[in-house]
Chains A and B, each alone.
Chain A
Amino acid sequence: MGWPWNSHEAKGLGARRVIVTEVNPVRALEAVFDGFEVMPMSEAAEVGDIFITATGDINAITLDHILKMRDGAVLANAGHFNVEIDVAGLERVAAEKRRIRDYVVEYRLPNGKRVYLLAEGRLVNLVAAEGHPSEVMDMSFSNQALAVEYIVRNRGKLQLGVHKLPDELDMEVARLKLETMGIRIDQLTEEQRRYITSWGLGT
């Protein structure tokens, strides 16, 4: 045993690290350039204190990963469905299970370690808190209201398929949001507008 800060545990505790796991090489590269560590989940599982899934896919954290985790690891999901953490696998192998707090369940694993699952692996922000703050839902739901109006105004005319809301409505939401925040922006001059919409003007 050396000084605590030389030990493996102290290194883990002392270092504030954010690790990102990805399957998409472009996103992984972005994460690296944004200043985060990137590694496979099988390695991250061994070192993390808090795990948060946001993949939109199933089994981002498998039972194998969970069995590798440190004692006391916290598991939370931010993705839409409760499929990202293998909760069923965890339930199956757990030697013991108890609810510690409203949204925290402790599982004792066969290897003696304990992990803490938040909000049953469902959307932690909506289950344990109140979802997104109103200011941001202001924009999302303004888009919803305008989308419903757009559907009703254009009934029978929209092509079958999945469409984006027209850009001018999207921009209108941003314009109104800025206005309500008291923030003003520049307008293109006539000269600038002509320059940026023409292809004939070069060097």
Chain B
Amino acid sequence: MAYKVKDVSLAEKGRLLIDWAERHMPVLMKIRERFIKDKPLEGVKISASLHVTKETAVLVRTLVAGGATVTLVPSNPLSTQDEVAAALAEEGVHVYAWKGMNEREYYNAIGFAISQEPVVTMDDGADLTVTLHKLALGVKSSETNYALETAGDRDFAKLISGVYGGTEETTTGVIRLRAMAKEGTLRYPIIAVNDSYTKYLFDNRYGTGQSTWDGILRATNILVAGKIVVVAGYGWVGRGIAMRLRALVHVG
């Protein structure tokens, strides 16, 4: 099975979404140009557990341009954009993702990512890295049982010893992986992309700040002016949300 998505006929709509994202991601497009020339990822098998969005598609296309074979699964059961998943599937990316997965389907997807025997993992929340480690260490849980349904019977200890390294996108994942490193269970090096200045100072603040309000307003269409808003947590995300709110209603 090369892919499992909701409806591959959505691909054309997905391509338009991805084109739109590419138009607004000039830095990544510059990196893609270099990747096309240098092929730094030739023959590299990557499994990524990321939100399957139009922006992720731009990243995946860039990795493919660098010579990699990419498997893409979600990092949240509800965050997949089905049009984007369809477009990537049609382009030959091993996509196992649709919006509205239950827990079993979600970990089936994670298991599928593992079954592709990656040498690099990419994570947003660390579910892929953690599940691979649990399988390699023989830790049993409902999650690993679901993952095994698609990961198949293989030597996970050997698989994990072949992994060059992994990346982690978000604060929550970095915290989990640091805990594993501290405990001595981590089996391959991780680059905490979240900890780059050009990530957390912008994505966590301006990205989440704006998109959280976008989500709330699209969901409810309520007027924010005049409301009392409570933000729990004043990390980079919390301050971004509070800051954008101030811009929306001019509160002090």
Which residues in B have their C-beta under 8 angstroms from that of A147? 167, 191, 193
Closest A residue to B79 by beta carbon equals A126
A14 at the interface (CB under 8 A from B): yes
CB < 8 Å neighbour of B78 from A127, A141, A180:
A127
B94 at the interface (CB under 8 A from A): no
When chains A and B are docked, how far (Å) is the Cα of A50 from the Cα of B214? Answer: 14
B108 at the interface (CB under 8 A from A): no
> Known: A135-B25, A146-B31. Is A56-B219 also a contact (CB below 8 A)?
no
B211 at the interface (CB under 8 A from A): yes
Cross-chain contact A139 with B203 (CB below 8 angstroms) = yes
Which residues in A have their C-beta under 8 angstroms from that of B23? 134
Chain B interface size, as a band, is: 35 or more
CB < 8 Å neighbour of A145 from B35, B171, B187, B246:
B35
B218 at the interface (CB under 8 A from A): yes
Tell me the minimal C-beta distance from A181 to chain B in angstroms. Answer: 9
**CB neighbors of A among B185-237 (8 A):** 186-193, 195-199, 202-203, 206-208, 210-212, 214-216, 218-220, 222, 224-235, 237
Cross-chain contact A102 with B219 (CB below 8 angstroms) = yes
Chain A interface size, as a band, is: 35 or more
A15 at the interface (CB under 8 A from B): yes
Cross-chain contact B245 with A18 (CB below 8 angstroms) = yes
**CB neighbors of B among A110-145 (8 A):** 116, 118-120, 122-145
CB < 8 Å neighbour of B125 from A18, A28, A80, A155:
A80
Closest B residue to A50 by beta carbon equals B229
A87 at the interface (CB under 8 A from B): no
When chains A and B are docked, how far (Å) is the Cα of A47 from the Cα of B230? Answer: 9
Which residues in A have their C-beta under 8 angstroms from that of B122? 144, 148
Cross-chain contact B195 with A131 (CB below 8 angstroms) = no
When chains A and B are docked, how far (Å) is the Cα of A69 from the Cα of B135? Answer: 43
> Known: A54-B231, A129-B211, A140-B203. Is A135-B24 also a contact (CB below 8 A)?
yes
A49 at the interface (CB under 8 A from B): yes
Cross-chain contact A56 with B235 (CB below 8 angstroms) = yes
Which residues in B have their C-beta under 8 angstroms from that of A50? 216, 222, 224, 227-230
5 examples of A-B residue contacts, CB within 8 angstroms:
A48-B228, A139-B27, A142-B27, A148-B68, A162-B189
